[in-house]
Structure 1
Amino acid sequence: MERRLAAILAADIVGYSRLMEADEADTLARLKSTRENLIDPKIAAHKGRIVKLMGDGALIEFSSVVDAVGCAVEIQRTMAECNAELPKEKQLEFRIGVNLGDVIVEGQDIYGDGVNVAARLEGLAEPGGVLISGTAFDQVERKLDFEFEFLGEQKLKNIEKPIRLYRAGPRARAASGTVPAKRKRYIEWRRPAVAATALILIAGGVALWKVVGDGSGPPVEVASRERMALPLPDKPSIAVLPFTNISSDAGQEHFADGMTDDLITDLSKLSGLFVIARNSTFVYRGKPVKISQVAEELGVRYVLEGSVRRAGEQVRVNAQLIDALTGGHVWADRFDGNVADIFAVQDIFVAKIVEALKVNLTTTEKTEIARAKPDNIAAKEAFEEWLEPLSPLQRKGHSCRHHFLEKSNRT
């Protein structure tokens, strides 16, 4: 009988039966999209192995408890963003428990107390929350920049000794005050939660939330100049990764790709900025990659990544610019609003990136940045859908692309 020490993550969906009863097809489709676009890539990025899927639950094994807790918190943070604009009855919420313990290995399956504790913790976690055991906490306390809240000891079913419990989550920055915690499931929570605030900028009906790097994630592996495939240019260098489509509709991939294309095109026009070509960055599309890896393979210092969620005429775009040499966020923004405003948002993103990287602009380049884009969303999407199956060589030439859009607008 083989035994080993492993970090175990157990997760389940809150109210799964209710969601299935209300709309089985929609629930399954959204769950499939969430797994493919969000959960599975994060598990892979943290070197996890999916042991089994159990309808509304999952059991995942990690060789490192740092990876396990980091993955759990990242999943919950991303799910909170996705659920923010959905009605309560449509939200997919997870409970997650993480334990570090001894497991028994049988083929590809694992079981034993190490697994049982993780499953019990998942059952005690609040919706959208992460609950970890004392053995997990002891290993990650000084290695992850998260907030850990000690909840006391709890006697778990079929587990001989009481288990120390900790709530894990993104570290809250200083706020104007605190709010009472509403976290009482089976445990009495001991400290009030810290209220986080966001700066809301509203201009011309377009809402932009200023996002400040909050340390909410596992420590970032920084890039090394020595490992870079090419020497860094003598001016700011950037790679724009394909924006991730986190919509329930997989057909919105074209919309996300189109936004990525536009940002690459606009940034490429600036003589004071070195921009990696689309063909080089789109090889990472749909793949879990580290920012440091992208920077080293492409020879750039800065990497822009983001996500797009569209529901009808409403759209949410998250974007963040990361300095691969430090792992820090140089700039980040979030847009919530009407899809008709998306071109204006792209212009704002470009301007903010230029400002953050202190790119020197000529008078002509300033004019180009301010130039209005075609406002026919339907034409843009039609073109992106037509472009999708073409080879990189066939896709070359942004002038043709803009000509198509402008012609469609006139039509």
Structure 2
Amino acid sequence: MPLLTATIIVPWRNASHFRLSGTHFETPQRDPQNKKLPHMVTDHIERKLAAILHADIKDYSRLMGEDEVGTLRMLTAHREITDVLIQQHRGRIVSTAGDSILAEFGSAVDAVQCAVEIQQALKASNAGLPSARRMEFRIGINVGDVMVEGPQIYGDGVNIAARLEALAEPGGICVSGTVYDQVENKLELGYEYLGEQTVKNIAKPVRVYRLQREAQAPAIAQGTGDTSSPLPSPALPLPGKPSIIVLPFVNMSNDPEQEYFSDGITEDITTDLSKISSLFVISPNSAFTYKGITAKVQDISREMGVRYVMEGSVRKAGERVRITAQLIDATTDHHLWAERYDRPLTDIFSVQDEIVRRIVTTLKLQITLQEQGVIVGKHTDNLEAYDAFLRGIDCFWRLTKEGNAEARHLWEKALALDPQYAEAYAWLGGTYRLEWLFHWSGTPQTLERALELAHRALALDDTLPFARTLLSHVYANQQQYAQAIEEGERAIVLDPNNADSYAFQADILISAGRPEEALSAVAQAMRLNPRCPAFYLLQLGAAYRMAGRYAQAIATLKDTISRSPDLIPALVILARSYIEQWAVQQNPNGEELEPALAAARRALSLNDALYWSHTILGYVLLHQKQYDQALAATEQAVVLAPAEA
């Protein structure tokens, strides 16, 4: 997992997993006298987070006026399609009043997949009809907080979904920014950012994304419920050594709140395997794009470029845990082994070790004596501390001030339960570095605290890759690049399949003025993580800029921004790339700096508390000979960061 360097602000995956539901009804009006909602007991209002799908038919009134019987017959046929797809995607229909459909889902991913498949299926159904008789749905999807009353729900979260539907084109889908944040790195779909839209009865503008019409979703075979993986990807060649992907273990517990636990098991097993140099292991970031999707192992093998696929499930009940696991040769679809482990919860670590050893034996892997000790590294004997650690990971990757504070609290709790828990010290150090990076407090000692905790973790376990990575980041932030590169190299030796370590090393190599080595590191990161997060592209674009390959830098950074429109470092480096490309031209035209100015202003609008944004704006204005404005922007950067600007 990444810890974020000074120019990175996007995680490899969004760690939140929600219990969701939804409806389309407008928020009920309050009585101005008693301020109570009708039909609800305000003292005991139930709330939950919901993924809401709202669909409506274009020109339904016209269709009914022209042919009432035929339109109702067509609506019934379409409803049979949509009802099946909603059920297959674990959704629940809340209401089908008139020509609308309201459904709730267990996740934003399920809602978006369902919406795309509905539009594909209805497009096929409409294909043989005259254009004037086609029944086309517009779909809006939102994730938001709602109030619950029996089968119905109310609130702005509901209303926004309806407003998004109105913004969608016939046959199209619009989603809110909260939905986009959940699905961006999980579904390989095309997204067009429509900006912040002001919608009726909603106080604040809403970020809106349109799913591109050519985007494809996992296809469902009629009557089977079988789903394929996301967009077909180009086949990747198999590495010259055994290769594997560990798919997300399915949470079989009755409690969806235990999702973090099954995800944690998946990542622990992946991490242990990743430390074996004779094995090629796909990053969890790419593996988690298959979460909740039934895919053919042959497709996974082709898309990820691996021979072996491991899958399993976790059921945690009281003080017992059941883990099932199976290893498949995807090139032959042959199951090499399958095992079920029914154990006390206290045996959770030994079960993980047994699974890893079984894979090593089955694949006849050659492991060094050092690796034998590292891959079965001890976490903690305290299950309560381990549980707090996993919950902290979930909070940390929200990358918010509140999530960071909660993660810190949980890891401090883990260390109170087990003061020898090396991993908890390393990740606790990560919260201090994140606080320093985002200027969440005015405490100047936060980076020093991160350094102290990294050393404490290594004193307990000097084979801990994440502690080396943290140390590397801190040294880079202190501009001690030689030490940063050395620690980054140590992290890679300890965990040679950690894609993020290569991406972070690239960032440090860029800062040290070694772009060609950075390009090589990014290439390795992207092979280990084929469905990589936007910050890999950010590093690729930054390395191209450093190497003077401005056209490639601009193209890559524009691609980065299309995937992550709010990624400030990408906007800043894009602006700088435009300036440097302009500067090397024989007869530079001042108008060619306009794209740089637009990128700089966009970065500033996203966060005017970061000195980088003011610095790059001043840089652009200087080259446009707007000296007073350039000076003002630069002075503001100095005010925000006197020691850095």
Shorter-chain TM-score range: 0.3 to 0.5
Higher-strand-fraction structure: 1
Higher relative contact order (CA 8 A, sep 6+): 1
Structure whose alpha-carbon radius of gyration is higher? 2
Higher-helix-fraction structure: 2
